[in-house]
């Protein structure tokens, strides 16, 4: 992907690739590589690519993006049926939908912002579907027929499923421009059918595929796996969903804003946003008098420079001149406020805001956020995860260009910790702290060197024994783990440090380490030891055996799992640990990968991509749910709602080591039936 090129609408890329002859389609990936390396110049709304000394390729930009196939023009002899136009569209960034392309707030309606945040102490209002005609006419609710997916939506879901299955079959190396265009076409069809969430996740798959094929350092296999899983889950569930469940699966292209009167807000912290999809900025979190979280964000297309500089830009609410950095420590009095269902503050023409006094983390109303027990906070975070759980991109809408669900704040943890040191992990060093008897690993929220997360983490590690009040974002893992976002100052508890915005200095640390603490039952001298010993070996469920195969299928395609290997040993190991369902799913995944039929002449027939994607999806969803329950067990929390279950009955936290699979006790595995009927056979 060439960031110098203007974004191109998904439908344009799909149209140009579909118009190519079979011979040119085979050469498309080579054309993409060639176009990506050619010089680019811009003259107003025209971007030119020098294909060779005599041929230029022009992209005509309208409203910041290329929105039609005719806007890409080539000067070669074969135009408009040449390869160059499709290659240029395939190498350019993907344009977001027109309804969410506005960068600034509209004078008459609230701007799109980071998702609104429900409070840890106040349950968020449930989303309600628009009333039907019969409801508005006064018909009783029991007489209403639940809304079901339309034929167009069912057809779009099938197209998404087939396109995503083809990508999974090929893997990242085989999913070239042609398969990407097919998925973009399916995404465009889904958006036209009223499925913005599925369309957004499909676009996220294409974005991750391009990053993988370009060897982009920001590429993460876990992100691609998550996006591909979400597309298949949505495609599987939408045709049979009804009512509110269908509304949630469809999503919305833009969150509505509702009037919320006057608000008195207190700055909590600010975090930078820098995504692999080309968005950057700052999101500032605030809390009102009852602890409800709201956000003010400034996120737009950009890179690391925008992520680091936007913190010193004025917030776009009312006439206030507060910057995001200042608002994170000050307060805001807002009249005529508008708030989206997820907590994002609107900035319409009728909103007025002035600066007000802030509050310390140790004073009301912010102190009540830390008064909630840790297990209850973790239960709330796990219960808030929707059916399609995705990563945070800092944007204001749930189903935008990436289709990524915005955070609503329920995954934030407010912890009082004592720093112990660091522990080495595969991804680098991780800060270790003690919190209510638990040993918690606090990792950097972002690894980009332009942001100070990693540097601040290293400095805090040298302040062993220091007691801090921190804000972190829960990371599902078999061990207590979270991403560190903000912390109280090591020498002045009355102030705080936004670890992605501010930079700590050696002078900010205590003059001498505080007295030693213990980790994993071992006495330590903080003056001489820096790295905390790793935890003692435990009887940990070998979930990684299934997760590794799920990731390998995404990276290498079906053929990687078809090779003979240690599958029988892995299945047996899962069963020995009581993970019989995981063993069944792993065996089914390998079996469908290796299953190929031949015609009467002995030639291999096309593989059954549907069955393989079905088996892979079962394993992927099971693994995600297993991680969720293991995380709850590690924190001593409930994996569901912290107070009640769907029947309204009181829940109790899950004691560590009492999670079960297929009726067998395991040291950390959940009692989850295999999804979609996969692997439901009894285990002897």
Helix (H, G, I), strand (E, B) or coil at 175: coil
Whether the CB-CB separation of 350 and 117 falls below 8 Å is answered with no
Q: Do 637 and 563 sit in the same domain of this protein?
A: yes
Under 8 Å CB-to-CB from 402, ≥6 apart: which residues?
A: 200, 201, 203, 204, 207, 275, 277, 393, 395
pLDDT tens string 505-554:
988 888 765 444 433 333 344 333 345 444 434 446 788 889 999 999 99
Q: Do 162 and 88 sit in the same domain of this protein?
A: no
What number is the average pLDDT over the span 23-52?
91
Whether the CB-CB separation of 266 and 68 falls below 8 Å is answered with no
Whether the CB-CB separation of 320 and 353 falls below 8 Å is answered with yes
Has residue 586 been placed in a domain? yes
C-alpha 190/C-alpha 199 separation (Å) is 6
Q: Do 568 and 667 sit in the same domain of this protein?
A: yes
Average pLDDT of the residues of the chain? 79
Which pair of structure tokens corresponds to residue 682?
A: 């009894």
DSSP letter (8 states) at residue 506: G
Has residue 194 been placed in a domain? yes
What number is the average pLDDT over the span 35-48?
90
C-alpha 315/C-alpha 113 separation (Å) is 12
Q: Do 71 and 195 sit in the same domain of this protein?
A: no
DSSP letter (8 states) at residue 606: P
Q: Do 576 and 645 sit in the same domain of this protein?
A: yes
pLDDT tens string 151-171:
999 999 999 999 999 999 999
Q: Do 654 and 548 sit in the same domain of this protein?
A: yes
Q: Which residue has the tokens 């080309």?
A: 278
Quickly state the pLDDT bin for 146 (edges 50, 70, 90).
low
CA distances from 364 to 172, 265, 413, 470, 488 (A): 51, 12, 17, 16, 16
Using CB atoms within 10 Å of the CB of residue 341, give its burial: 0 to 12 exposed, 13 to 18 middle, 19+ buried.
buried
Residue 662 confidence (pLDDT) above 50: no
- Of 392-401, 460-469, 618-627, the least confident: 392-401
pLDDT tens string 663-674:
333 333 333 333
Q: Do 553 and 642 sit in the same domain of this protein?
A: yes
Has residue 563 been placed in a domain? yes
Q: Which residue has the tokens 């009249």?
A: 335
Q: Do 671 and 583 sit in the same domain of this protein?
A: yes
Whether the CB-CB separation of 440 and 434 falls below 8 Å is answered with yes
What number is the average pLDDT over the span 191-213?
93
Q: Which residue has the tokens 């507060």?
A: 322
pLDDT at residue 215, as a whole number: 86
CA distances from 175 to 110, 218, 385 (A): 39, 19, 30
Domain that holds residue 32: 10-95
pLDDT tens string 124-139:
333 333 333 333 333 3
C-alpha 114/C-alpha 117 separation (Å) is 9
Has residue 612 been placed in a domain? yes
Last residue of a domain, one of 62, 95, 128: 95
Query: What is the percent of the chain where pLDDT is above 90?
Result: 44
pLDDT at residue 277, as a whole number: 66
Which pair of structure tokens corresponds to residue 252?
A: 């919305």
Has residue 279 been placed in a domain? no
Whether the CB-CB separation of 65 and 6 falls below 8 Å is answered with yes
Q: How many domains does the chain have?
A: 3
What number is the average pLDDT over the span 342-369?
89
Whether the CB-CB separation of 577 and 542 falls below 8 Å is answered with yes
Last residue of a domain, one of 78, 95, 112: 95
Top-confidence range, 85-94, 297-306, 387-396:
85-94
pLDDT at residue 71, as a whole number: 93
C-alpha 677/C-alpha 122 separation (Å) is 37
Whether the CB-CB separation of 470 and 486 falls below 8 Å is answered with yes
Under 8 Å CB-to-CB from 467, ≥6 apart: which residues?
A: 416, 417, 418, 514
Last residue of a domain, one of 202, 217, 240: 240
Q: Do 155 and 87 sit in the same domain of this protein?
A: no
**Number of Cβ within a 10 Å radius of residue 501:** 26
Whether the CB-CB separation of 209 and 593 falls below 8 Å is answered with no
DSSP 198-258: HHHHHHHHHHHHHHHHTT-TT--HHHHHHHHHHHHHHHHHGGG-BHHHHHHHH--SS---E
Quickly state the pLDDT bin for 44 (edges 50, 70, 90).
confident
Q: Which residues pair with 280 in a beta bridge?
A: 274, 300
Helix, strand, coil percentages in the chain from 3-state DSSP, rounded to 5: 35, 20, 45
Whether the CB-CB separation of 127 and 342 falls below 8 Å is answered with no
Has residue 126 been placed in a domain? no
Which pair of structure tokens corresponds to residue 168?
A: 């999974």
Q: How many CA atoms lie within 13 A of 301 on its CB side?
A: 16
Has residue 454 been placed in a domain? no
Whether the CB-CB separation of 501 and 421 falls below 8 Å is answered with no
Q: Do 662 and 555 sit in the same domain of this protein?
A: yes
What number is the average pLDDT over the span 410-415?
92
Whether the CB-CB separation of 235 and 161 falls below 8 Å is answered with yes
Has residue 141 been placed in a domain? no
Whether the CB-CB separation of 81 and 73 falls below 8 Å is answered with no
C-alpha 545/C-alpha 580 separation (Å) is 13
Q: Do 159 and 63 sit in the same domain of this protein?
A: no
Helix (H, G, I), strand (E, B) or coil at 344: strand
Q: Do 187 and 87 sit in the same domain of this protein?
A: no
Farthest CA pair distance, the chain = 81
The runs of H, that is alpha helices, within 507-651 are 544-556, 558-562, 567-576, 580-594, 609-635
Whether the CB-CB separation of 553 and 593 falls below 8 Å is answered with yes
Using CB atoms within 10 Å of the CB of residue 10, give its burial: 0 to 12 exposed, 13 to 18 middle, 19+ buried.
buried
What's the angle, vertex CA 539, arms to CA 534 and CA 541, rounded to 5? Answer: 105
C-alpha 389/C-alpha 251 separation (Å) is 13
CA distances from 319 to 314, 332, 352, 355, 401 (A): 10, 11, 7, 9, 30
Element (DSSP H or E) covering residue 497: strand 496-498
Q: How many residues make up the chain in this entry?
A: 684
Handedness of CA 178, 183, 185, 188 (dihedral sign): negative
Q: How far is Cα of residue 345 from the mean position of the Cα atoms in its chain?
A: 21
Selected residue with higher pLDDT from 56 and 541: 56
Selected residue with higher pLDDT from 63 and 204: 204
């Amino acid at each position: 992907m060439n960031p110098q090129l203007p974004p191109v609408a998904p439908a344009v890329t799909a149209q140009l690739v579909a118009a190519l002859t079979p011979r040119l389609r085979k050469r498309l990936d080579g054309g993409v590589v060639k176009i990506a390396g050619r010089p680019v110049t811009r003259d107003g709304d025209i971007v030119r690519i020098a294909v060779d000394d005599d041929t230029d390729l022009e992209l005509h930009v309208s409203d910041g993006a290329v929105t039609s196939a005719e806007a890409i023009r080539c000067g070669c002899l074969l135009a408009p049926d040449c390869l160059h136009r499709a290659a240029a569209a395939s190498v350019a960034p993907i344009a977001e939908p027109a309804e969410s392309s506005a960068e600034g707030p509209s004078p008459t309606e609230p701007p799109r912002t980071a998702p609104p945040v429900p409070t840890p102490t106040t349950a968020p209002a449930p989303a309600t579907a628009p009333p039907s005609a019969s409801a508005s006419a006064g018909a009783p609710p029991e007489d209403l027929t639940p809304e079901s997916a339309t034929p167009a939506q069912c057809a779009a879901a099938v197209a998404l499923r087939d396109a995503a299955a083809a990508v999974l079959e090929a893997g990242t190396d085989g999913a070239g421009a042609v398969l990407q265009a097919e998925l973009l076409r399916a995404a465009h069809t889904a958006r036209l059918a009223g499925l913005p969430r599925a369309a957004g996740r499909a676009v996220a798959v294409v974005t991750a595929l391009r990053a993988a094929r370009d060897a982009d350092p920001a590429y993460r296999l876990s992100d691609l796996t998550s996006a591909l899983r979400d597309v298949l889950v949505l495609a599987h569930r939408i045709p049979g969903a009804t009512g509110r469940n269908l509304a949630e699966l469809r999503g919305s292209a833009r969150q509505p804003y509702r009037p919320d009167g006057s608000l008195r807000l207190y700055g909590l912290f600010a975090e930078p946003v820098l995504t692999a999809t080309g968005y950057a900025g700052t999101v500032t979190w605030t809390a009102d008098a009852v602890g409800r979280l709201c956000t003010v964000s400034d996120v737009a297309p950009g890179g690391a420079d925008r992520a680091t500089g936007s913190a010193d830009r004025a917030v776009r609410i009312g006439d206030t001149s507060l910057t995001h950095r200042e608002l994170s420590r000050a307060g805001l009095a807002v009249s005529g406020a508008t708030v989206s269902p997820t907590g994002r503050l609107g900035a319409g023409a009728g909103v007025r805001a002035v600066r007000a006094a802030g509050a310390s983390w140790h004073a009301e109303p912010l102190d009540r956020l830390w008064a909630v027990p840790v297990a209850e906070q973790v239960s709330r975070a796990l219960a808030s995860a929707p059916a399609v759980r995705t990563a945070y991109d800092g944007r204001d809408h749930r189903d935008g260009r990436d289709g990524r669900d915005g955070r609503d704040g329920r995954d934030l943890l407010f912890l009082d910790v004592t720093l112990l040191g660091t522990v080495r992990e595969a991804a680098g060093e991780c800060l270790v702290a003690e919190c209510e008897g638990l040993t918690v690993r606090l990792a950097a929220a972002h690894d980009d060197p332009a942001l100070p997360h990693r540097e601040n983490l290293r400095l805090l590690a040298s302040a062993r024994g220091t007691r801090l009040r921190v804000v972190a974002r829960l990371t599902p893992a078999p061990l207590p783990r979270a991403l560190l976002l903000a912390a109280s100052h090591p020498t002045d508890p009355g102030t705080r440090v936004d670890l992605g915005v501010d930079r700590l200095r050696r002078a900010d640390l205590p003059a001498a380490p505080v007295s030693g603490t213990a980790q994993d039952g071992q006495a330590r001298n903080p003056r001489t030891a820096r790295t905390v010993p790793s935890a003692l070996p435990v009887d940990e469920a070998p979930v990684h055996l299934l997760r590794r195969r799920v990731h390998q299928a995404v990276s290498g395609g079906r053929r990687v799992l078809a090779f003979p290997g240690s599958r029988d040993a892995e299945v047996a190991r899962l069963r020995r640990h009581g993970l019989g369902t995981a063993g069944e799913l792993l065996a089914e995944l390998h079996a469908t990968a290796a299953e190929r039929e031949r015609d009467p002449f002995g030639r291999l027939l096309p593989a059954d991509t549907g069955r393989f994607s079905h088996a892979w999806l079962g394993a992927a969803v099971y693994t995600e749910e297993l991680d969720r329950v293991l995380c709850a067990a590690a924190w001593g929390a409930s994996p569901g709602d912290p107070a009640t279950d769907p029947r309204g009955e009181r829940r109790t936290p899950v004691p560590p080591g009492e999670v079960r699979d297929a009726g067998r006790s395991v040291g950390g595995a959940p009692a989850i039936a295999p999804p979609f009927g996969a692997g439901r056979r009894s285990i002897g």
